[in-house]
Structure 1
Amino acid sequence: MKILDKYVLKTFLITFATVFVILFFIFILQTVWLFITELAGKDLDVLMIFKFLMFSMPRIIPLVLPLSILLASIMTFGNLAENYEFAAMKSSGISLQRTMRSLIIFIFFLSIVAFLFANNVIPYAEYKFMNFRRNIAQVKPALAIAEGQFNTVGIYTIKVNKKSGENGNILTGITIHKKSNIGDGSRTVIKAKDGELISNEQSNILQLVLNNGYYYEDVIPKKYEDRKKMPFIKSAFQKDIINIDLSKLNSVNPEEQDKTDTKNMLDVSELRYTLDSLHKDLKTEIVTFSENINQKVGIPVQSKSKKSVPKKLLIKNAKVQKDVLAYYTIDEKSSILKNAMSTNDNTLLSINATKTNLDFKQKDINNHEIALYEKFVIAFACYLMFFIGAPLGAIIRKGGLGLPIVFAVLIFISFHFINTFGKRVAQENGMTPFMGAWMSSFILTPLAVLLTYRATNDIGLINIDVIFAPFQKLFQKIFPSKK
């Protein structure tokens, strides 16, 4: 490797590492802010909080890596141009492509690493992250009751309006739903004005002391007509204590793995296998429903034989079906038409319900396909951001953290917005998942080609003369100069 390649690569790596660490720290703070409600007030030790952040870090890489490459490229080549180092290189016969050669090789290997990271590390971290979030509340059930939402603790679902006290154990506005023993939902509702939550780390019993409340319990009589006589049982209490057995919950290990197959937890081979199964399932359901609906409405199934029905017989059957109501009385006609309308309404409801189900399955397929393409998009985005940032830095001839940050943020926001827009439209079947995932890359690739061409040929970012030349000619025609 020549001295020039070492110098350019060293300058880029130092800038890239600094920018990557800063941006990564900023996005980690954003993650902490998003999930602060799940971390605060749960009495979690430092190790569990560290694991929570470690499992959430890999999902940040697809955002931080392209932005870091873009910003580092603009800053590196902007400094070279600002300090007239590019002028010295060009005077020695070294072109921009020759200067970028070592960085192109580095970005190539970095894009491969990005793909492997997105294909292997991110799915595993996503799976661990989702399960760890779900198990935090079970590890600390005494402090797992959040305000303004229902929290499941044992066989009880508890909602409180406000928590107070040193440890948040004083509850106000309590609503409790108790699950039925026979598994048919909740028949018992308990409402209390206030209460206290008492727990002990050495005990498997979580104690709820309720004050000034009511019990409501549905009673299901043997005869249905007796239900109006006994709709529910209501009783009042001044103080009541509920003991919840937490022996099973406290035995939960936060490292316990209960894998849930979602699109973000699968690698390329698993996504392709899942997509194949989803496509087959969708096709089978469409065929099955079409056969069932044809039988229901009386449409004959097409025969495999090549023999066709004679045309005269079809005309005769059509005439018979047209005059079939003439053989019935008015009352019978009314009954037949009502039955036909009822059958038609039921068929339409069945078609609409099936259409909704098929649309949901198609969206699931689209989401899986987008997740598959995204693993390749991140690798291409590394190259794309480099070929935008490096020529742009050479054109604007500004280094440091001023103007380069402005350009980098504008370009990356455009890239991220187009990418998000494309995926949203693809999820709703507005375009193919391939186009939705690659839309941002397809739109910004011409920009990268244009910037590289202009930087190679020493053309500025915007030619002001080309813009103002028509206006200048028009001005001269209106106000001609005097001889």
Structure 2
Amino acid sequence: MFKKLDILIIRSFIGPFLAAFAISLFVLTMQFFWLYIDDLVGKGLDFFTVMKLVGLVMLFWVPMALPLALLFSSIMTFGNLGESFELVAIKASGIPLLRFMRPLFFITILLSGLAFLFSNNIIPVTQLKLAALKYDIIVSKPAIDIKEGVFYDKLDGYVIKLGKKEKNDSVIHDIVLFEKNYGLQDNMLMAESGIMRVTPDKKFLEFILKNGWRFEERGTRGTANTEFIRLGFKEYKKIFDLSSFQMNKTGDSAFYDPKMLSLRQLNHAIDSLENIDTFYLKRSRADITPYVRFARYAADTGWIKTDTLKIKTAKSFDALLPDSLRDVIIDASVGQISSIKSNVGLLASDYTEKYKSLRFHEIEWHRKFTLSVACIVLFLIGAPLGSIIRKGGLGTPLVFAIIFFVLFHLFNTFGEKFVKSGQASPLQGMWLSTLVLIPIGAFLTYKAMRDSQLFNQEFYYRTFTRLRKIWNNFRKNQGSKNKEQESMIS
């Protein structure tokens, strides 16, 4: 009987989970494209590059889509069972809530382990490839789209204006072309008509112009001895190099981010960064000691003991210095202090960057585990919540799934911000969402095991009606007492 029950629950769970995972992954992927839509439009990307970008973005969001899909599908599964009274029949047969949650809990643990392996082994490579591809797309120039009546300046060294283009975009009319030569003034070329086409290898743009003139001025800047050349032509061929428009592929080694490291690599990096205190202490001594030379001779010469009386009776520091050496010593002291300040500032800046890098590495180390544990935590919220609301479909489960996922995402974001700003340790900040949601899951499980009417409208309506009657009776009693007191006074 239990085996059949397990199969029933698993079959009820698989469909909603796959649908919820697909929807979550699609929404998160669209979030990326909404953010970078301005950098992607007009780049002339080929189909393979677009598909590669979509695939990398989808892989990047898989660990985030899994918790949301588990939350949504668990609410929907147990809500459907409750709405069809199958949940009531299961409980009536003496099977507790935790027992029929067990098969899905095992599946959740399995998916949590897969999420960790995905985050540790696939996400670093995906993040590296995505960063390189995104950089290449953003820095590449827009595709060639020369519109009518608009000056086009994306070709290096040229500005082009077309009066009219035919429907096939190849035959053009009233062409004006400015060639930047950084001389007296730009060369100019005008033609009545022509043909515009890209070579088959996509490396050059050809203009075959007809019936036009070329204007050029030669000479030395600042003198009147110049010559103006006007050249008429029946046919003129102009070739533009399109190599700058081709998207160059940047090497993966040009990027480094803690998100691109696996758990083993993060451990190695953290071990190296944790020794920065000892390293910078030794470095500060080595950099500052040469500028405080007097400290090296204090113990050897004994001048501190012999001149103690003179120092105590002196009214100021200038009184201790001979008149002939006072200015020299003050200038030398100011120079040494300036050098010490400069070195200390550089050391402090370098130390701050290293410490910030340590925190970023620790954030990514904890993220490997928090997203996996989030699958279990959100399932422990979704399963009892679905058995309480007893509503299937997409409406109510979707609303509750969005509410709790937004809470998880907000606390996760707040915790990460606290860690980056130094207001919390990586352990406290990165596990903040888990620490907040675990008590909520325990509370919902407790209520679901006792068939709580936590989200029953009739229960709240009856409770409100009862409270209103109590309040009305209290007001009546209070009014009658006031009347009795007034009668007694009168």
Same fold, TM exceeding 0.5? yes
Q: Retained in 2: the 8 A contact 1:69–1:385?
A: yes
Instruction: Evaluate the alpha carbon distance shift between residue 272 and residue 467 of structure 1 in structure 2; reply closer, same or farther with a 3 A threshold.
Output: farther
Q: Partner residue of 2:288?
A: 293
Cα separation, 2, equivalents of 1:345 and 1:165: 67
Kindly provide the CA deviation profile for residues 338-366 of structure 1, in whole angstroms up to 9, marking residues without a partner as x.
Answer: 54345434433443343222112111111
1:35, distance to aligned residue in structure 2 (A): 2.7
Q: Partner residue of 2:173?
A: none
Q: CA RMSD in A?
A: 5.1
Q: Partner residue of 2:68?
A: 67
Q: Partner residue of 1:32?
A: 33
1:31, distance to aligned residue in structure 2 (A): 2.2
Secondary structure of 2:431's aligned partner: helix
For 1:81, the aligned partner's letter is G
Q: Partner residue of 2:442?
A: 449
Cα separation, 2, equivalents of 1:430 and 1:200: 59
Q: Retained in 2: the 8 A contact 1:423–1:436?
A: yes
Q: Partner residue of 2:392?
A: 399
1:386, distance to aligned residue in structure 2 (A): 0.2
Cα separation, 1, equivalents of 2:154 and 2:279: 38
Alignment of 1:208-357 (within 5 A): 254=249, 257-258=252-253, 260-281=255-276, 283-297=278-292, 300=295, 316=306, 318-319=308-309, 323=314, 325-328=318-321, 332-333=325-326, 336-337=329-330, 339-357=332-350
Cα separation, 2, equivalents of 1:57 and 1:477: 61
Q: Partner residue of 1:372?
A: 365
Cα separation, 1, equivalents of 2:229 and 2:307: 78
The percentage of aligned residue pairs carrying the same residue is 29
1:122, distance to aligned residue in structure 2 (A): 0.9
Of 424, 431, 437 in structure 2, the residue corresponding to residue 431 of structure 1 is 424
1:441, distance to aligned residue in structure 2 (A): 0.8
Q: Partner residue of 1:119?
A: 120
Instruction: Evaluate the alpha carbon distance shift between residue 326 and residue 90 of structure 1 in structure 2; reply closer, same or farther with a 3 A threshold.
Output: same
Instruction: Evaluate the alpha carbon distance shift between residue 37 and residue 5 of structure 1 in structure 2; reply closer, same or farther with a 3 A threshold.
Output: same
Kindly provide the CA deviation profile for residues 247-285 of structure 1, in whole angstroms up to 9, marking residues without a partner as x.
Answer: 799695x49654633211111111111222233356413
1:442, distance to aligned residue in structure 2 (A): 1.1
1:421, distance to aligned residue in structure 2 (A): 1.2
Q: Retained in 2: the 8 A contact 1:142–1:206?
A: no
Unmatched tracts of structure 1, length 5 or more: 146-150, 168-173, 179-187, 213-236, 302-308
Of 367, 371, 378 in structure 2, the residue corresponding to residue 385 of structure 1 is 378
Cα separation, 2, equivalents of 1:97 and 1:74: 15
Cα separation, 2, equivalents of 1:192 and 1:468: 86
Q: Retained in 1: the 8 A contact 2:206–2:240?
A: yes
Q: Retained in 1: the 8 A contact 2:199–2:206?
A: no
TM-score normalized by structure 2?
0.71
Instruction: Evaluate the alpha carbon distance shift between residue 327 and residue 383 of structure 1 in structure 2; reply closer, same or farther with a 3 A threshold.
Output: closer
Q: Is residue 460 from structure 1 mapped to residue 460 from structure 2 by the alignment?
A: no
Cα separation, 1, equivalents of 2:16 and 2:114: 19
1:420, distance to aligned residue in structure 2 (A): 0.8
Secondary structure of 1:261's aligned partner: coil
Unmatched tracts of structure 2, length 5 or more: 146-152, 170-177, 191-195, 208-213, 216-227, 231-237, 482-490
1:94, distance to aligned residue in structure 2 (A): 0.9
